[in-house]
Homo-oligomer: A and B are copies of this chain.
Amino acid sequence: MGKSSLKETSFAMNMNSVHSRETVCVFGTGDFGRSLGNKMFQCGYSVVFGSRNPELSGLHPKGIEVLSYKEAAQRSDLIIIAIHREHYNFLIELAEELQGKILVDISNNLKINQYPESNAEYLAELVPGAKIVKAFNTISAWALQSGTLDASRQAFVCGDDKESKQRVMDIGRTIGLTPMDQGSLKAAKEIENYPLQLFPMWKFPLYLSAALCVFYFVYCLLREVIYPYIQEEKDNTFFLAISIPNRIFPGLALNLLALVYLPGIIAAILQLYRGTKYSRFPNWLDHWMLCRKQLGLVALAFAFLHVMYTLVIPIRHYVRWKWSSRIINQIKTNKTDPFNTTTAWLSDSYVALGILGFFLFVLLGITSLPSVSNTVNWREFRFVQSKLGYLTLILCTAHTLVFGGKRFLSPSILRWYLPSIYVLSLIIPCTVLVLKFILVMPCFDRPLTRIRQGWERNSKVSKKAQLGSGNNEV
């Protein structure tokens, strides 16, 4: 949005520029009403407040009048209703004054879907003669007041009357916002729910990763700290800072990445089983599919942490001490470790696989930025998210497998019968990859492709189509 920067910098300059004075009326002298009124006043509008008790309505900048509702309404054909929905009733008495005027509903509720219909639609029912526009409810009074609109300047606007909507959008632009037309008044409910949300699509990914995190942590604590303490009386508590996180994070990253691709596989199996794509998926699967992007980004965050924790390894006091004591030991025992090409191969390969996997992972993350994903078409998006996504999963799984190397089958890695954490981490990714591998085999891929193109196993249309009567439809 170029606009943000346009507005940002002009904010300081243009504040007092003289405009031809258009009068706007604001009903209600509460915080947001005042902030909005003052802001419009600063930006060159003539502002009149309407209040129950005009004489009590506090300090206003010179030039702003506070009148009774009735008087104020007569001054302008555009009235901003800065009143809580519960008190809209008084507007019924003003029906005559409000006839044909533009009423801007800026109200918010306390919780999502609090009322059956949106506040703006309720207002439209109460004052049928007026043109209702929903706007400005997504803006914070504090931001308007202080001018620090560093968050989104987007102001969603909707309404059934196009002229009125344009008037309100013009006001929005003048006070430094970026109005976004959301269509008819039906959209008001969404717009009213919008400011109440707190990362709704992130909840499942975050809770899931928190749960997995706790499980992994306890598991590692047992194997890496408590076991050595009990069996060998070694104090490994300092592993809590880096060593243990660096076992938890890669495991989480790999598993969450696999969980991004699992719902697609479940959906494919369901479609193959049902023989149609037109039945709805179960709700849990729908929700899972809707938050795949967020799951992937959480996975990327853990991968990033894993990379950082790995790169600092040589700086750690413990690691330096271990290296020097190994060298000193070699000299004291006069036994030099010979160079082992296989170990060099394994060590270099798992590092290289990890780097390439992380690189593709970062690429996936970048393409999921809204401004980037908006510049690619559907075909390009599918290519990146599906092809590159699976390649990332393959590389990261291979990275973990090679990291395990020869130790997989050795019983020495079991402590209290618990295998290393990376063995556990491989279960889901390997399952996903095996299932995907089965699904891309022609015997499954062909019917699946047909189903996804609209073919149905038990449909007369599809049978007709199979009989070769031609398909002229998109």
A194 within 8 A of B: yes
How far apart sit A151 and B340, CA to CA, in the bound complex (Å)? 48
Nearest-neighbour CB distance to chain B for A233, whole angstroms, equals 13
Closest Cβ of chain B: how far from A273's Cβ, in Å? 16
Contact B474 A86 (CB under 8 A): no
B197 A9 Cβ-Cβ under 8 A: yes
Q: From residue 177 to 216 of chain A, which have CB atoms closer than 8 A to chain B?
A: 180, 182-184, 186-187, 189-191, 193-201
How far does the alpha carbon of A8 sit from the alpha carbon of B293 in the complex, in Å?
A: 11
- Interface code A387-422, partner B: CB below 8 Å = 1, 0 otherwise? 000000000000000000000000000000000000
Which among B8, B186, B382 is the interface contact of A174 at CB below 8 angstroms?
Answer: B186
Inter-chain CA distance A362–B383, complex, in Å, is 25
Contact across chains for A10 and B190 when beta carbons are under 8 A apart: yes
Question: Which positions 2-26 of chain A face chain B at CB distance < 8 Å?
Answer: 2-14, 17, 19
Q: How large is the interface on A (under 10, 10 to 19, 20 to 34, 35 or more residues)?
A: 35 or more
Asked if A370 and B373 make an inter-chain contact with CB atoms under 8 angstroms apart, the answer reads no
Chain B residue nearest to A173 (CB atoms) is: B183
Q: Which residues of B contact A195 (CB under 8 A)?
A: 377-379
User: Which of A221-229, A300-308, A428-436, A438-446 lies at the interface with chain B?
Assistant: A300-308
Tell me the bound Cα distance from A237 to B345 in angstroms: 8
On whether the beta carbons of B461 and A151 are closer than 8 Å, the reply is no
For A348, the chain B residues whose CB sits under 8 A away are: 238, 241-243, 316-318
Q: Is the CB of B34 within 8 A of A454?
A: yes
Question: A74: CB under 8 A from chain B?
Answer: no
Tell me the interface secondary structure of chain A in the complex: helix
A374 partner, pick from B146, B325, B370, beta carbons under 8 A? B370
Q: Which residues of B contact A140 (CB under 8 A)?
A: 378, 382
A230 contacts chain B at the CB level, 8 A cutoff: no
Q: Which of B83, B186, B196, B385 contacts A44 (CB 8 A)?
A: B186
- Report how many copies the assembly holds: 3
User: Cβ of A83 and Cβ of B183 under 8 Å apart?
Assistant: no
Interface centre among A86, A184, A344, A454 (most CB of B within 10 A): A344
Which of A84, A150, A369 neighbours the largest number of chain B CB atoms within 10 Å of its CB? A150
Contacts of A238 in B (CB 8 A): 341, 344-345, 348
Which of B19, B193, B374 meets A2, CB within 8 Å? B374
Give the distance to chain B from A6, nearest Cβ to Cβ, in Å.
5
**A107: chain B residues within 8 A (beta carbon):** 474
- List the one stretch of A92-100, A126-134, A350-358 in contact with chain B: A350-358
Q: Mark A26-50, 1 if CB is under 8 A from B, else 0.
A: 0011111110001000001000000
Is A275 interfacial (CB 8 A cutoff)?
A: no
Chain B residues near A311 (CB-CB < 8 A): 311-312, 315
Determine how close the nearest CB of chain B comes to the CB of A386; give it in whole angstroms.
Answer: 11
Contacts of A145 in B (CB 8 A): 277-278
A372 cross-chain contacts in B, Cβ below 8 A: 369-371
A76 at the interface (CB under 8 A from B): no
Which of A186, A201, A453 has the most B CB atoms < 10 Å from its CB?
Answer: A186
In the complex, the answer to whether B242 meets A352 with C-beta atoms within 8 Å is yes
Contact with B along A303-329 (1 / 0, CB 8 A): 011011111111111101101111110
- Report chain B residues within 8 Å CB of A382: 140, 151
One of B58, B315, B453 near A462 (C-beta < 8 A): B58
Taking CB atoms, residues of chain B closer than 8 Å to A19 are 186
The reply on A336 being an interface residue by CB < 8 A is yes
Complex Cα spacing A13 to B36, Å: 30
Contact A472 B4 (CB under 8 A): no
User: Hey, which chain B residues are within 8 Å of A437, CB to CB?
Assistant: none
Complex Cα distance, B34 from A309, in Å, reads 51
* 20 extra interface residue pairs, beta carbon distance < 8 Å, beyond A82-B473, A320-B323: A1-B370, A2-B156, A2-B375, A4-B370, A31-B473, A38-B278, A84-B474, A87-B472, A138-B378, A140-B382, A142-B277, A147-B289, A151-B378, A151-B381, A152-B374, A307-B308, A309-B355, A325-B339, A369-B371, A371-B371
22 sample A-B contacts, Cβ–Cβ < 8 Å, listed by A number: A1-B374, A6-B194, A9-B193, A10-B193, A12-B290, A28-B474, A29-B461, A83-B474, A138-B377, A143-B378, A145-B278, A151-B373, A152-B373, A169-B183, A237-B345, A242-B351, A242-B352, A308-B359, A310-B315, A325-B339, A370-B372, A370-B375
